Amino acid sequence: MSRVRTLLRTAVGLKFVVAVTGLVLFAWVAMHMLGNLKTFLGPAEIDAYAAGLKTLGAPFVPHGFALWGVRLLLLACLVAHVGCAAKLVARNRAARPIPYARYVPRESTFPARFMLVSGGILLVYVVLHVLHLTTGTILVDPFVEGKVYDNLARSFRNGAVALFYVGAVAVLALHLYHGVWSLFQTLGLDNPDRNRKLRAFAAISAIGLFAGFAAVPLAFLAGTLE
């Protein structure tokens, strides 16, 4: 534990936490997207998939146990990711008390400079998304537990909701475009020979995830899915 405490003392150590938790969240987001695509296979498939998630690990663990395990792990990662990032932001702000009258970025990409904003938007989005399609508290009426396809269809026929989701996953893509490459750099897995491949991997991941996630609401909106 003392080693972890040492790690958390420095910004370099905090970045380690942000990178590792970011990697976990990225892997989960990728699986989430693949799962979502089942929507295109029809109501039966996606509803069965959702039900299956709850019985994950059966018969060794009780119903819903593994899913809650994953949820708690994700929550822990999210808290650590956001918490460490917030600490870093505070430090970074303090490191330059007087700003430049003129400052011209030379190297940094837009998504990289946008990380703090995109992260904030995503945090709000995650809360709304859980309230929407996990608990069914908002944006969908009536919400029927287990009837995933119907819930989606009822929500996304509303253009505003669909476009809100498309916008949110666009922000996610921007966040990942920098974040995925960045985590390799932070962990020191980057080098100039590999850099182009890592950049390409980050770009493909971002575009792929955007396409995969945006497909479902757009399909409902366009009427491709009923």
Partner 1 sequence: MKFILRIWRQDHAKGAGAFVRHEIDGISGDLSFLEMLDLLNEQLTVRGEAPVAFDSDCREGVCGMCSLVINGRPHGPNALTTTCQLYMRHFRDGDEITIEPWRARAFPVLRDLVVDRTAFDRILEAGGYVSVHSGPKPDPNSMPVEPEVAEEALDAATCIGCGACVAACPNGAAMLFTAAKVSHLGLLPQGQPERYVRVTRMVEQMEAEGFGGCTNLGECEGACPKGISIKFIGRMNRDYYRSVLKEPIDRRGRMGAQ
- Answer for which of 160, 188, 196, 223 binds partner 1 (CB under 8 A) is 188
Told to check if 196 binds partner 1 by CB under 8 A, we report no
Interface with partner 1 (CB under 8 A), residue total 46
Structure token pair of residue 33:
């997207």
Torsions phi, psi for 56 (to 5 deg): -55, 135
DSSP-derived 3-state class of residue 100:
coil
Q: Which one, 32 or 91, has the nearer CB to partner 1?
A: 91
DSSP-derived 3-state class of residue 63:
coil
- Answer for which of 1, 59, 60, 102 binds partner 1 (CB under 8 A) is 102
Told to check if 192 binds partner 1 by CB under 8 A, we report yes
Told to check if 96 binds partner 1 by CB under 8 A, we report yes
- Write down the least CB distance from residue 115 to partner 1, Å: 7
Angle (nearest 5°) at CA 154 between 148 and 156: 95
The dihedral region occupied by 188, where left means phi > 0, alpha psi between -120 and 50, and beta the remainder, is left
Told to check if 135 binds partner 1 by CB under 8 A, we report no
Instruction: Give the ranges where the chain is alpha helix by DSSP (H).
Output: 2-9, 11-36, 43-54, 65-95, 110-113, 115-129, 148-156, 159-186, 192-222
In the chain, the amino acid numbered 118 is S
Q: Which one, 94 or 160, has the nearer CB to partner 1?
A: 94
- Answer for which of 32, 71, 113, 197 binds partner 1 (CB under 8 A) is 113
Told to check if 3 binds partner 1 by CB under 8 A, we report yes
Contacts with partner 1 by CB under 8 A lie at: 3, 6-7, 9-16, 88, 91-108, 112-113, 115, 178, 181-182, 184-192, 195
